[in-house]
Structure 1
Amino acid sequence: MRVLVTGATGLIGGAVARRLAAAGHGVVGLARSEASAAKLTDMGYHAAYGDLEDAASIANAVQDVDAVVHAASPNDQNSATYDEAATRAIIDALRGTSKRFLYTSGCFLYGATGDTPATEDSPLDPLEMVRFRQALEAEILGAAADGVHGIIIRPAWVYGNHAWTTMMMYGSAQEHGAARYVGNGRNRWTCVHVDDLADLYLLALEKAPAASIFNGAHGAAIPLIDIARAASEGAGAAGRVAEWPLEEARRALGRFADAIACDQLVSGERAEHTLGWRPSRHSILDELRSYAAPAA
């Protein structure tokens, strides 16, 4: 298939583009400028000029592909308007085509889960910064009646390839001698390695039925303080950690601080049972510890 990937140079989109290309699919990246197009070409992909804020350019890019992966989706309320506009433009361009459309949502839609792992059928209690996604997901699923093969992926905490949130803790350990964690550190993160997540996107593209939802989550949930300790070890700070009070973190990070402090258990079993997804990469703790400088 010839697949349009938004965010093809980002964390998730980049991993997805590499996985699709390795599986023999043609990757077309959305480029806003000649510089972006050149970067995509240098990576071995095709480039389609377009802007997520320009519905006409998106419609034009969609015409020449067999499927779309929207991986440039933001996780903040400030970017909700353009994400909604871009997603609706993609849906409109795909109506009546039966082409596959993979939308990147997220597990923040579940809110705090308590001790019962959230599944794709769990009630939604979204964090405020992603509340817009609840209605947008409903539009994607409803578009199946109009010939849009929509598939929703809800990634858990994504790590690997120096993902920003984990590197924030690593960087604080390097700079201040202790990795800072938001809140009391007892909240749990369910995670997924970005390359395992890319495997899920490939399987969903090739096998998932229309109007389906899959959590991209793997392994036991890990207390945030343990993740911070691993970041500290990787940064050479001997496991030292420091609490970053939630109110103080909110002043620096806005609503994203509440996401970091959210306690979540999420199940990825549906993808494993339905699609044959077999995540196999190392844990987030091993990832962070691997950043340690080798002994001289």
Structure 2
Amino acid sequence: MKIFVTGASGFVGSAVVNELIGAGHAVIGLARSEAAAKAITEAGARPHRGALEDHESLARAAADADGVIHLAFIHDFTRYAASVAVDVRAIEALGEALAGSGRPLVVTSGVLGAAGGVVATEDMPDGSAFPRRSEAAALPFGARDVRVSIVRLPPTVHGAGDHGFVPELIRVARETGVAGFVGDGANRWPAVHRLDAARAFRLAVEKAPAGTRVHAVAEVGVPTREIAAVIGKRLGLPVKAMPVEHFGWIGPMFARDAPTASEATQKLLGWQPTEQGLLADLESAAYFDR
């Protein structure tokens, strides 16, 4: 298959590109900059210059592909609503380009919609407290002969090169002198290694039925106090409960209890996580020697 990937030079996207190429697919990667185009080329894919706001460019690449994986998102949490709006319009442009073709469109979402103490499963609709609206934008295209599937990622996609939520927690700990957690720290964050996540995206574009929600989740839920404990040990800092405000913008997310299952995904796609877990990964120098 020839697959168009947005976010192809990103932390997860670059792993997806490598996974697709390793499985024999040809990849076209959306490149917003010369640096992104260079990285995509070096990975063995073909860059396609454009941006999420350039709907004509998105549609052109999607129409020329056998399938699309949409990973790109503007991670500016100071303008989150604006980022969500850009994402929705990009998904609509991709969906319109694929309408009537039967080709796959894989769209990225998150799993933070779980209510406290309830293990989220794939059949649950998106009820996130931090909605990206990607699912609502993409799923209607299933009725227009697009093989739409949703890959939900946990808040912690870890591995070398991670610059997401856990590095932000490490930054806060360094600046405040405390490796904190919220409440009793029993609230759980699901997690997945980026390489396991990449395999889930590949399997989704290859064979996920229309309307499928995929949970790329290897660990149902790691207690946040255990995440804080590793950070504290590695930085030589005290570990203790702190108010939500202590963590800045990430605080409300770090306070969520969001256990998430992936048994249905594993059965449907034959996906089996094989990489090391979050706490073992946090013991590596990659997270602290920066």
Return the TM-score normalized by structure 2: 0.88
Q: Please give the secondary structure, in 1, of the residue aligned with 2:166.
A: helix
Residue 146 (structure 2) aligned to one of 145, 148, 158: 148
- Tell me if the contact between 1:153 and 1:213 (Cα under 8 Å) persists in the aligned partners: yes
Correspondence 1:121 to 2:115? no
Q: Deviations over 1:105-126 (max 9, x none)?
A: 1102x24341x31112235432
- Tell me if the contact between 2:8 and 2:31 (Cα under 8 Å) persists in the aligned partners: no
Q: Please give the secondary structure, in 1, of the residue aligned with 2:69.
A: strand
Correspondence 1:160 to 2:164? no
Correspondence 1:216 to 2:213? no
User: Shift in Å at residue 288 of structure 1?
Assistant: 0.4
Partner Cα distance (1:50, 1:175) in 2: 37
Correspondence 1:112 to 2:96? no
Which range moves more in the overlay, 167-176 or 138-147? Answer: 167-176
Q: Deviations over 1:166-201 (max 9, x none)?
A: 122334445555423355523111111111111111
1:286 corresponds in structure 2 to 280
Partner Cα distance (1:41, 1:23) in 2: 17
Distance 1:241 1:87, change over 3 A: same
Partner Cα distance (1:220, 1:145) in 2: 32
Distance 1:31 1:123, change over 3 A: closer
Correspondence 1:272 to 2:266? yes
Partner Cα distance (2:153, 2:181) in 1: 21
Read off the aligned partner of 1:138 and give its amino acid letter. A
CA RMSD of aligned residues (A): 2.3
- Tell me if the contact between 2:217 and 2:260 (Cα under 8 Å) persists in the aligned partners: yes
Q: Deviations over 1:113-155 (max 9, x none)?
A: 41x311122354320x31x51xx42342221221111110111
Distance 1:85 1:227, change over 3 A: same
- Tell me if the contact between 2:160 and 2:286 (Cα under 8 Å) persists in the aligned partners: no
1:70 corresponds in structure 2 to 70
Read off the aligned partner of 1:147 and give its amino acid letter. D
1:262 corresponds in structure 2 to 256
2:17 corresponds in structure 1 to 17
Distance 1:244 1:141, change over 3 A: same
Distance 1:124 1:99, change over 3 A: closer
Which range moves more in the overlay, 96-105 or 214-223? Answer: 214-223
Distance 1:182 1:40, change over 3 A: farther
Which range moves more in the overlay, 163-172 or 1-10? Answer: 163-172
- Tell me if the contact between 1:196 and 1:279 (Cα under 8 Å) persists in the aligned partners: yes
Partner Cα distance (1:35, 1:220) in 2: 36
Residue 135 (structure 2) aligned to one of 131, 134, 137: 137
Q: Deviations over 1:247-274 (max 9, x none)?
A: 343xx31xx4211210011110111111
2:99 corresponds in structure 1 to 95
Distance 1:153 1:243, change over 3 A: same
- Tell me if the contact between 1:100 and 1:150 (Cα under 8 Å) persists in the aligned partners: yes
Partner Cα distance (1:193, 1:82) in 2: 27
1:230 corresponds in structure 2 to 230
Matches within 5 A, 1:195-206: 195-206=195-206
Q: Please give the secondary structure, in 2, of the residue aligned with 1:48.
A: strand
Partner Cα distance (1:192, 1:154) in 2: 11
User: Shift in Å at residue 47 of structure 1?
Assistant: 0.5
Q: Deviations over 1:204-224 (max 9, x none)?
A: 111211121111112241210
Q: Deviations over 1:43-82 (max 9, x none)?
A: 3220111111011111112122111110113564331110
1:240 corresponds in structure 2 to 238
Read off the aligned partner of 2:281 and give its amino acid letter. E
Partner Cα distance (2:181, 2:161) in 1: 17
Read off the aligned partner of 2:212 and give its amino acid letter. S
- Tell me if the contact between 1:189 and 1:223 (Cα under 8 Å) persists in the aligned partners: yes
Identity across matched positions, percent:
36
Read off the aligned partner of 2:115 and give its amino acid letter. A
- Tell me if the contact between 2:114 and 2:259 (Cα under 8 Å) persists in the aligned partners: no
- How many matched pairs? 282
- Tell me if the contact between 2:119 and 2:260 (Cα under 8 Å) persists in the aligned partners: yes
Correspondence 1:84 to 2:73? no
Unaligned residue ranges in structure 1 (runs of 5+): none
Partner Cα distance (1:123, 1:43) in 2: 35
